[in-house]
Structure formats: structure tokens, C-alpha cells
Structure 1
């Protein structure tokens, strides 16, 4: 007797046998594929620099527990007003992509408006220190990760796109690849927006803070095209001009990068599509580094 036939007695007796078998096969199909799914953990990581616990979302592929190998990691940074859970609550495909490509994804919490740097005016906001010196070592200790730059990438959307490029440019020994989706890659045209002045001071009083902490001014940190970079922005996004400016400057400096413009606005529909490009980009990067190291 086939397994689906063993379920027939439990179905409504008024169904024809052919329909019962079809229903059983569909149920078994759903059970099989729902069982093969990435696992999501919510953990708390203590930040000694900020003296508080910070929640983090960890997504591991289905084969994580039964596989002895170590896994590459992609750190994902949310946008302004988001949090660590953005990637599982708002994005329907992240777990599918984690399973498909076989790496770990980390949903980082950057507070609602940290911009992922250490604030020069507010000592309670040290999110660069948190990500680099506290979160990543914790993840490498608790999970089976490839704990070097060749096995580590970072990306984000909006504020998180700025954060991903900012952190990767400053810490090329930590990340081998980075991406930005609709990133605020030059914050200076937006002096009154998104609480940036709470982190840096006003642009009129502290212009050096703004110049020093905007991604478009940090390209000089790149060493021999040491980072694999992908930048993505919709043509109807309010950040499109600063992304085009960054792209033009990178071309002039002969900095290798993938740059994508597509129809789209600053919204979840655009980011869900953009994330697919970013994840494939990181998958190819990890494959190349595994082959060459």
C-alpha cells in the first residue's frame, strides 16, 4: 500500500477515491516542502559598549544541523524605523534564499535611527562598535560560520544600505563583499531627515561629522578593489541622485562594482526584488572565494 493510500480512511467518505488520492498527494507535498525550510532564531546579544541586550534574527538553512561544514554569513541591515525582524516579517523570500544558497543570514538591529556608526555626539549610540566588535564575534562563536572576510558579506536597505557600505569600507578585514539597496549613500543633502542630526549634530554646526561619515566621501579607503560591491536603486527613488553620484565617482576612481537601476520606488516591492540580485551576487562571491582559497 502506498503511503497516500493509508490516509484515505481519514478523508470524507463522500469524496471519490481519485479525489482522495489527489488530496493526499497534495498534503504530502506540502508537508515535505514545509519540513525543508530555513530555521529562524531570535537571540539577544549583549553590547558591552552600550550596556544593553540587543535582539538579533538568525536564519540558518535547513541542512545546518546535519551538516558538519562551516557556512558563509550575510549580515542584513534594516532601514530607518525598522528593526532586526524586518527581514522575516516584511520579506517573504529570505528564508527561501537562505535554503537555496546555503548560507546563514543575520538580521541586525541598528536601533530605529543609528545609521550604523558610532555617534560622535551621543555615547549611547555605538552601532559600529556593536556590529564589528560584539555581534560578529558572538555569531562566530555560537554558529558554524566561516569566520573570515572571505566568508562574510553585508547588505542593507535605505539607512542600512548606507550602513553596509560604511561598515565594509571601514572594515575590509571583516567583510569581503557588500551591497546597498536604495541606500542613503550621501547623507548631506538630507540634513533634517531621519534623525541624522541627532547622531552627528546639525550640519551647520558640525559639518566635519557629516563629511566624515557619508559613504560617498569614503571611497579612498578602498584598497586595490578589495571589496566585491553591488549597488542597487530604483529610478523613482528619492535616493537615486546620490546613488548615481556614487556610481560616477566609483567609475572615475576605477573601483570595480555592479550597479543596477530599475523602475521602482523606495518601497518593499522594490527591495524584495533587489534582495534577490544581492543574494545571488553574494552566492557567486562565496563560491569564487571557496574555489580560490
Structure 2
């Protein structure tokens, strides 16, 4: 049987305890090393996201029917942060009814979570077998990491990703400043290199996405394609919700499968 392990992790960068959920396929108990998918939750979620999606059960079925290879799937808690370095000291800011987590979340993920997983699980510690994806705010974070750290991730997925066409003033704390919004806006990214050309990307959103993220992924898709990066862009029927993700989850796992 596959397992979900809940691991408490003390982050030096955030100065607090965090949690990550780790899916281990049944094949893990027999030894060997496995590719890793980091699958990031949205702003109202946490590490239980993969269980809410019933991702372990679907992965079990796809592995058992040889549709995908066994892989480790990791969902780290990133709070309501978009995964960026938005402040030196971790804290929360309340904007209206929205509580935003700010701090060094990018350093936490790149410098702590990824090395921790490689050190404590039988991963294949290579960019060719390390993938990052996510939904909504987690989709923004995955896109950010894929662009900023192409030497770490060979496959990148943004599923209804919260990529804004223009900065909403209420979202300013996510970035730290207007200048940092532009520095971290995927639609303004220019520092492409040889590692990006060795990546594969999957972008998607619902045609009724309330955030308008179906529009932003079309723009991002054009940017990536113009750089010669292998990219899929899908606009499917649906809204910006868990139901849309569940309906498309098998497609995501099939994309992350293999080299």
C-alpha cells in the first residue's frame, strides 16, 4: 500500500514549524530511487491539499495500470504566501478579510524543503527527475520556481495559476513592494538560459476562471514558446475551484510522468 507521511519541519528561514505531506508509492518499500513531484497548494490550503484532491488514490491507480511510473509526491505547507521572499521576518498581514503570510518562503522551499526531501527519502536527486507544479497561488509559486531555478526542475506545471495581469493593491504584501511585483512577475521574466530549453511546461485554467488567469497563461505560453520551450497550454471547461482541478488531475499526473 502507498503511504502519506506527515512530517513536521522546523524552518530556519521562517523561524517556525512547518509541515509537509509526502506520498510514497507502494513500490517505495522495495527499495530503489524515485522521481519527485512537488505539488503546491493554493492560498486557502495546506499540505492536506493532495488528500483533498484524492491524488494518492489516483496515483495508485495510474501506477498499478502502468500509465505512470512510481513517483514521490510532496506537498509542503507554504501558507498564503505565493512562495516568494516577501519579507526578512516571517509574519502575517491582514488585508480586509484576507490574512497573508509573508517571509522568506522562497528560501524555505528552495534551500530547505528540496534538500530535506533529497536527504531523507530515496529520490533521484537530479533536475531531470524533479518536477514542480501547483494550483492557484501554488501554481504561481511553481511557475516562479520553474523560471528562477530551471537547473533544479525539468517539468513545471501551473494549474489555474494566480498570475496577475496587473497588480491588485490588496495583493501587494505577497510581493513586498510594487518593484518586487515586477521583478517576480512571470509575464515580465527575461533571464532565460540553456536550462529553460530543457524544460517541459503545462499551463491550464478554466474558461470561466474568476481570476482571469486563463488570459494570463495564454500570454505566458506565448513567451515560453517564443523562447523555444516545450509548452502545453489548455483552456478547459470550468471555474477556479477544486472541482476543476479534480477533473483534470489525471492529465497533470500523466504530464509529470517520466522524462
| 1:234 has 2:197 as partner | no
Equivalent runs, 1:90-239 vs 2, <5 Å: 90-98=52-60, 100=63, 101=68, 102-111=70-79, 113-119=80-86, 121-124=87-90, 125-186=103-164, 188-192=166-170, 196-201=171-176, 206-223=177-194, 225-237=197-209, 238=211, 239=213
2:230 corresponding residue in structure 1: 256
Contact 1:230 1:281 (C-alpha < 8 Å) held by counterparts:
yes
* Deviation at residue 79 of structure 1 after TM alignment: 0.5
Q: Which protein is bigger by CA-based radius of gyration?
A: 1
1:30 corresponding residue in structure 2: none
* Deviation at residue 222 of structure 1 after TM alignment: 4.5
Q: Could you list the per-position Cα deviations for residues 33-65 of structure 1 after superposition, in whole angstroms to 9, with x for gaps in the alignment? A: xxxx32111001221112222110011001211
The TM-score normalised by the length of structure 2 is 0.86
> Which consecutive unaligned segments of at least 5 residues does structure 1 have?
1-36, 289-293
* Deviation at residue 98 of structure 1 after TM alignment: 4.8
Measure, in 1, the Cα distance between the counterparts of 2:181 and 2:49: 27
SS at the partner of 1:220?
coil
Query: Which of 1 and 2 has higher RCO (CA within 8 Å, sep 6+)?
Result: 2
The TM-score normalised by the length of structure 1 is 0.76
Which structure carries more strand by proportion? 2
Q: Single out whichever of 230-239 and 183-192 deviates more from structure 2.
A: 183-192
